[in-house]
Amino acid sequence: MDQPIENPTNLLVEVSDKSPNAVNDAQVKSDSANLPEEPEEDSPNEPELEERSDYDAQSGDDGSSSVDAEGSSGEEFEATSEYSDNDSEWSSQKTKMGPSSKPTKRRQKGKPSTSSNLNETVKTLMKCDILSANGNANDMQQFAPVSKLKNKVDALAEEVAKLELDDQPQAKKDAKSLIADSRQFDPSAKIVDMSWQVKGLNTLLKHHQLKAAAWMLNRERSEVEPNGGLLCDEMGLGKTLTVLAIIAHERISSRRKAPTLIIVPRSLVTQWIEQIHAHCAGKISDDVLEYYAGARTGQRDAAKAMQKKLIVITTYEEVCSSHPRLKPPVSLKSREEIEAWKEKEYKHRAGPFHKVEWHRIILDEAHSIKNKDCATSIAVRALRGNFKWAVSGTPLHNGVEELYPYLHFIFTSERMEYENFLKTYSSGLDKLLETVLHRSTYSTRILGKPIVMLPGINNRVVEVELCPAEQLLYKEIQDLGIAMINGLADTKQKQSKCILAVITILRMFVSHPLLAENILGTVLDQRVIEELKAMAQAEGVAETPSGIIIDLILAVRDKVAPRPRLPGDFPKLLGVFRNHLMHIRQQGGKNGRFEEFMRRNCPRCEQLVTEEEAFVVTSCLHVYCKGCFDELPDQDGKTDTITRVCTSCEASIQEAGYSDDSPRASPKKGSPKKRKLSKPKKNGKNVLNKRPQKSFKKQVLLRDPSDDEWDEPSEDEGDWISRIGDRMPSAKTTAVRDLVSNWVKEDEDVKIVIFVQFLKTVQLIQFMCEKESWKYAVITGKVSPISRDKQIEQFSKEKDIKIMISSLKTGGVGLNLTMANKCILVDPWWNEAIQDQAYCRLYRIGQPRPVEYVQIVAKASIDSWMINLQKEKTRNIHQLFSTEALKEILGVSEDICEEPNGGFLILTGRGSKHAQTWTQAVESGILNEVDPSEED
C-alpha cells in the first residue's frame, strides 16, 4: 500500500487498488463520470465450462499474462513484503513441486518496515463489526432501484450519478476498480442489476464478492509467493460464494492433474454440498467427491479416486488421521539418519490427502488450525498444493501469535518457520498482511453505499442478580478456592491449574448451581447447611427462588452433608492390604486363614466387606464399609471432621483409599468412543445422546479453559440434574424463561436461538421448555451430524418449533440461522470472537427481519471478570493471574502476597472456613495435568 491503513475496514478497497489490473493514479484522480467503454457480450442463459489448457487459464483477456498488466505483482511484493536483508530470515526448506507446478517464485530483498496500525488491524480480526450494518427498512430502500443497463460502464456511471456530489469522487474510483476486477475473469464478468455474473456460477456476486474473488485470482497468478492468502471477510458476507467463484470460473482441461481440496468442520459438509449445487453449474456440482467418516470412497486407492474429481470435500479429522506421527527409533543418532528414516516412513505411512499434490487447498473455518502445536494444525500445514487459502471471519481469538499457522500454511515453496515469524512480527508483519490478507467488514462502502444493509439489530445486556441462596453458595465456592490456592502456594504450577479450575467451577455455578454438583458436595458441610436452613426459615422465603433451591438441595442430599475424605491412593493401599493378607496366610499356620477372614471384616459392623459394595482401605491395613468409615469419630468424638480413629487400632488413620475412586471404573485411556446416532424427535423431546457416565474431574476440571474448543465439558447427566433439574430455578434460566415467554406472546412467528456453553445447561433448558410446553430443537457437538441437519431443517420449516437450543461452538460456526430473529447468549466466553459468531448466525445476508440479541450477565460474579477480559483482548489466558484479577475472581478486598517461588498467598478476613476440606478437593484429582494430545 502507498499509505498506512487508517481504517482496517477500508482494506478491501486498498488491496484492490494494488491489484495487477488496478486503475492507474491518473484514472483514480479523475472526477469524470465517463468511465472507459467496454464492449459487452451477450450473457449466456446458462453458464457453461469451456476447455483450455492450464497455461491459458493464467492469461488475461488479451492472451498475455495478467501479472504484467499495469504494474507487476513482483513490484507490489517488493514494496510491501520484505522481511530481512539476511536470507536466513526464511527457511531454505523447499516443497518439491510436480509437473503441474508453477514457476519458482522470486524472493525480493529489502529492509522491513512497520506500521503503527498493526495492532489495530489485529484487533479487527478478533471482533465482528456487524453492528455497523444496523439499519431499518427505510434505509434499505434508500438506494433502490438500481440501474438496469447491461453495459457495466454505463450502469456504474448511472449509479455514481445518483450520489451526492461529495460522495462521487470516491464512488468513481470504486467503479473503475470494479471494472478492473471484472476483467480478472475469463470471460469478463457481466453486470446484471448491479450484481455480477461469473461464468460457471448460477448465482450473481455482490460488489464486495467480485472484488474479493478478483483479489484471490491475482494472488494465484502472482509470480511471488504466496499464491494464496487469508480471506477474512466478516461473518455473513458470503465467503463461500466468493470461494466458489474462483473454482467455477476456471476452464477445465480434459485431463486435470489435481483437484481443489476443501477442508471443513464435519458439521458443515452438508451445507457446502448444498451451496455447490445451488450456486455452481452442473459440470462443477456433479464433479464433487465427499470423503469423510461414513462417506469414504470404496476404491482401493483413495488418492487416485480423488485426482479424478474437480473438488474433494473432507473434514479436519480426516486430514489429521492422514498425517503420520513419526517417532524415530532411539537407535538412530545422527541427524542424517533420522531425516532419512522420516522421509522413508512418511512415504510409506502417509494417508491419501498427503499423497496428492493439490491444485488448490481451501480451509473453511480456518481458525481450526490456529493452535500451531495441535495435531490438526500440523497435519493441515503438511499438505502440498499450488494455491492455499485460509478462510475465516474470526481468524484470531487470543492474539497475533495465532497468525503464524495461517502464514506457515499459505507459503508453499518457502515455509515461514516460527522463529522467522516472531522476527517478522516486530519488523514487517503489517506489510505482509497487506499482501496476504483480505477483509471486508459491514462498514465497508462501495459506490457510496454499505456493501450490505441489514434490517437492524438491537443488542442489549440483561443483568440478573443471584438469589441469596445462590450468593451464599457462590461465596462458599470462592472460599474453598482461596483455601486450595493458599494450600498450594508452594507449588506454582499446581496453583495455576487450581485457579483455572476455580474459574471454571464459578462459571458453571453461575450458569446453574446444579452444574457444580460435585463441588457443592464439598462445601455443603454442617455449618453451611445450618446457614441454609436458617435462611429458608426466614419469613417470606419459602416460595422464593432461595427457598426452592434450599429445599431441593437439602432434599437431594438427604439433609446430610458428606464427610470430608482422607487423602489416599486406593490401588496402592489395596495392593499393600492384599500383600498383608497373603503374609498372614503364609505365616499364620493353622490359624492363618481364620485371621485372614477376620481381617476382611469391617471393624465397626463386623460384617464381611465385599467388592460389590463401596468400601475403604486404610493405611493401618483394615477395610471398612464406606458408610461405617464415614461414621468413625475423631479424637474428640466428632463425626463431621476429616480425622477418623480406627476402631481396631484406636489410632488416627493417616490415609484411606475409596473403592469408588478406583480407575477400574474409568474407561481405558485412548480407547475409542462409540458414537450413537441420535434421532430427532418430532415432539421436541431430549435428543441428546445418553452415554456412560464419566468422571466430573476428567470431563470438566482437567480441561484447559484457555482452549476455546472447550465448549462442552461434560457428557454426564449428573444425578442431581436428573432428580431435581426440572424444578430447581436459577437466576439465568429464570431470565431465559421470561425473555422467551414475552417474545412468544408478542410475535407468533418468532424464532429464538439460545446459545449456552455447557451441555448440562442445554438439558436444564430442555426441562424448562417441556414444562412450558414449548417445542424446540437441539444442536450440540454430541448430536450426530445427520440429526443436527434434521433439527435445523425442522426448526426452519415447522412453525410450532420456536426455539433452538445450541452449544456455543456448534451453533456458532458456519451455520445459517437467518430463519431466527431472536438470540440469547447465556454464558460469556473467553473472547469476543466466539461470541460474535453466535449472533452472526442470525444477523447476516438473507435476514429479512430485525434481530434482537440479548446477553445474560450475572451481577457481582465471574461474568463481570469474563466481560472485562474480553475487552482487554488478553493474548494469553495463563498470564492473567495478577493480584487485582484474583481479587475480582475470588471476591476479596484484602492483600494478596506473592511468594518467593511465584505463588500467591491470599489474606482474607473471612477466616479459614475450609481449612479441613480443601485437601479433599485437591486429592480428588482436580489439579492433574491434562494430556495436550487430548485437546486437539
The C-alpha atoms of residue 920 and residue 567 are separated, in whole angstroms, by: 7
β-pair partners for 230: 390, 437
Residues of the chain with CATH 3.40.50.10810: 8-32+52-322+356-450
Spatial distance between the Cα atoms of 832 and 397, rounded to a whole number of angstroms: 8
> Which DSSP string do the residues of 589-638 spell out, in sequence order?
GGGHHHHHHHHTB-TTT-PBP-TTS-EEEETTS-EEEHHHHHT---TTS-
Question: What CATH number should be reported for the domain whose range is 8-32+52-322+356-450?
Answer: 3.40.50.10810
Using an 8 Å Cβ cutoff, are 564 and 924 in contact?
no
Note the pLDDT tens digit of each residue in 633-675. Answer: 988 888 778 889 999 999 999 999 988 765 444 333 333 333 3
Average pLDDT of the chain to the nearest whole number: 75
* Alpha carbon distances (Å) from 789 to 276, 282, 721: 17, 24, 28
Q: What is the Cα 637 distance to its own chain's centre? A: 53
Give bridge partners of residue 805 from the DSSP assignment.
754, 778
Cα–chain-centroid distance for residue 707? 8
Which residues 6+ apart lie within 8 Å of 174 measured at CB? Answer: 13, 207, 446, 447, 448
AA identity, residue 725: G
User: How many angstroms separate the CA atoms of 388 and 129, rounded?
Assistant: 26
The DSSP output letter for 382 is T
Which regions of the chain carry the CATH code 3.40.50.300? Answer: 461-562+669-935
Note the pLDDT of residue 671.
37
Is the domain covering 461-562+669-935 a CATH 3.40.50.300 domain?
yes
Share of the chain above pLDDT 70, in %: 70
User: Where in the chain do CATH 3.30.40 domains reside?
Assistant: 570-654
d(CA 387, CA 252): 16
User: What is the CB-side half-sphere exposure of residue 30 using CA atoms within 13 A?
Assistant: 15
Most distant pair of Cα atoms in the chain: their distance: 115
Q: pTM score, two decimals? A: 0.63
Contact 19, 214 (CB under 8 A): yes
860: how many CB neighbours lie within 10 A of its CB? 12
Distances (CA, A) of 487 to 379, 396, 685, 919, 930: 41, 36, 45, 8, 21
The pLDDT tens digits for 720-744 are 888 899 999 999 999 999 999 999 9
- Which regions of the chain are under pLDDT 70? 1-119, 126-144, 251-257, 294, 296-299, 489, 558-562, 661-718, 811-814, 833, 872-883, 886, 892-905, 907-936
Q: What is d(CA 80, CA 428) in angstroms, rounded to the nearest whole number?
A: 8
At 485 the pLDDT is 84
Looking at residue 693, its pLDDT comes to: 40
Res 921: pLDDT: 59
Report yes or no: 819 and 796 within 8 Å, Cβ to Cβ.
yes
- We find that the CATH architecture of domain 570-654 is 2-Layer Sandwich (3.30)
User: Length of the chain in residues, anyone?
Assistant: 936
- Sheet with 623-625, side-by-side order of all strands: 623-625, 615-618, 656-658
In degrees and rounded to multiples of 5, residue 194 shows phi and psi of 60, 25
H or E segment to which residue 934 belongs:
none
pLDDT at 699: 39
